[in-house]
Structure 1
Amino acid sequence: MSPRLGDLGRGALTLAVVGALGLGGLLALRALTAERIAEQQRAATLRALAVLLPADFDNDPQADRIEVVAPAWLGGEDALTVRRARRDGVIEALLLEAVAPDGYNGDIRLLVGVDARGRVIGVRVVEHRETPGLGDPIEIERGPWITGFDGRSLSDPAADAWRVRRDGGAFDQLAGATITPRAVVGAVRRALQFVETHGEALAETPSGATLAFRDAPPLEDSRR
């Protein structure tokens, strides 16, 4: 082999090694970032749970939980968690993970607390990518908008008022942003409908089980 060919071979090998190291570093950074995001989401969920749990329960909702695949109701294709708060074995509240898939910048992940009478205990956003300064006031840390669901039910407001005001509904939109609150209102309403339709199964299924629901809200409701 000529010296020139030998130099070319060593140069190619060096480039390959550098490229492999760079790719490995990139993959490691991506894994670390994904882990951090997941940890932040877990922390946000725990904070939300502390707020949304009913005042009177005697079980461990973190252990008394099931996984639910219900894309048309809860918005996510993957399994989402439903936690149960009980007193003396009786359901006091369901705490549902839900996804608003039609946010301005993608999925908005929520935790929705629903009491035994079908009323919203509260709603909290645990993850989103909405535009800072426009869509992010859905976070409780940035404003009180999300508390507008507290105490609401499928009959309060009436069915045709489960919309933002711009669409003729009862819920405020955000200044300069309508898509984001519209998506959250729809997701909360579908979660309430899900509890009304399938609440018995959600309450009685043994902890640790996974349920799948392939039905959907009525078509006219899914467009609200």
Structure 2
Amino acid sequence: MFSTISRNAYLLAAFAIACTGSIAIVNEFTQPIIAQQEQQALLKMLNQLIPADLYDNDIVASCFAVTDKNLLGTAEPQQAFIAKKDNRPIALMLKTTTMSGYAGRIDLVVGIYEDARIAGVRVLQHSETPGLGDKIQTNKSDWIYSFNDKVYQEAQKSRWEVKKNGGDFDAFTGATITPRAVVFAVKDALIYFQKNKKALFKHKANCGESL
């Protein structure tokens, strides 16, 4: 009986090792494919913010990392991308985060023209309530387009609120926390851009380096 148990234990151990090895091999082969798909999805997202005919550089290759816990929502490095035309800066695409969503973290990318106008905003990831907070997605509502061409001015900062609190932005029926969190995150991204504009447009492409 003991030998039977031992034999079964060895078989289970061998099976576990084989499964682990198979997973590792599959992961090794699929990782480059996933990375390529993520890069294509990212480029598609960036082109939604800055039309491809407005720039002529490799926008994904322009990536570098910046860090500002207060204005970019996290101590983690955030990616930034520069769009250029004839080597002249046209716009910056900046990833930012808010932890203040109804369900916590919301990751965004904010496109900002050289003159500090918003080119567009898109949601990269969130866990907000379906049917309520998920209206920040373009396939759920047009709300996110309300940021287009907006400019932040300190003298008018009260406008960067939901209408319920005296600002310019609509809230969602039954869900004020989500849109308010996004409005604040976009506002802070604009403030960050205005404070660091010259350095950002001169930054070398290196996603491992922080400003």
Question: What TM-score does the superposition give when structure 1 sets the normalisation length?
Answer: 0.77
Unaligned runs of 5+ in 2: none
Provide closer, same or farther for how the CA distance between residues 41 and 190 of structure 1 changes in structure 2, counting only shifts above 3 A.
Answer: farther
User: Aligned with 1:61: secondary structure?
Assistant: coil
Indicate the RMSD between aligned Cα atoms, in angstroms.
Answer: 3.2
Take 2:24 and 2:100, find their aligned partners in 1: how far apart are those partners? 29
Alignment of 1:152-163 (within 5 A): 152-155=150-153, 158-163=156-161
Identify the residue that residue 100 of structure 1 maps to in structure 2.
98
Take 1:153 and 1:45, find their aligned partners in 2: how far apart are those partners? 25
Aligned 8 A contact 2:79 2:207 in 1? no
Identify the residue that residue 46 of structure 2 maps to in structure 1.
49
Identify the residue that residue 10 of structure 2 maps to in structure 1.
13
Aligned 8 A contact 2:63 2:80 in 1? yes
Query: Which stretch has the larger CA shift, 80-89 or 36-45?
Result: 36-45
Take 1:152 and 1:14, find their aligned partners in 2: how far apart are those partners? 64
Q: For each residue in 1:39-70, what CA deviation from the matched residue of structure 2 results, as whole angstroms up to 9, or x when unmatched?
A: 76544422221121155333332223322122
Deviation at 1:210, TM superposition (A): 4.8
Q: Which of 63, 67, 70 is the matching residue for 1:72?
A: 70
Question: What TM-score does the superposition give when structure 2 sets the normalisation length?
Answer: 0.82
Identify the residue that residue 63 of structure 1 maps to in structure 2.
61
**Matched residues, number:** 210
Q: Which of 127, 130, 146 is the matching residue for 2:128?
A: 130
Deviation at 1:17, TM superposition (A): 4.2
Take 2:15 and 2:128, find their aligned partners in 1: how far apart are those partners? 37
